[in-house]
Amino acid sequence: MNRKIGIILFVFICFLIWLYFAIYESSIHNWWTVNEIKQASADTVQIGISFVKVLSGTVVFILSGLLIYFMMRKRD
């Protein structure tokens, strides 16, 4: 049970770190960003968060957590 909680916490902390960097520290040109251009005009650009990218990143982290869990389970 302790190993399962440890894996969940590790994946959750990695997800939060990715989410922070994907929102605040990335630009539109990075492939791992969740920012997207909502509206652009000649002199201003409005940037927002794409919920589809956040959802796909969440799915990737959940699947990777499950993969790590099953790999750790088979070793015992």
pTM: 0.83
**37 closest CA partner among 29, 28, 26:** 28
State the chain's mean pLDDT as an integer. 89
pLDDT tens digits for 5-15?
998 999 999 99
Q: How confident is the model at residue 73, as a pLDDT? A: 77
Rounded CA gap, 3 and 10, in Å?
10
pLDDT tens digits for 16-38?
999 999 999 988 888 888 999 88
Task: Looking at 25-50, list the stretches that DSSP marks H as alpha helix, in order from N- to C-terminal side.
Answer: none
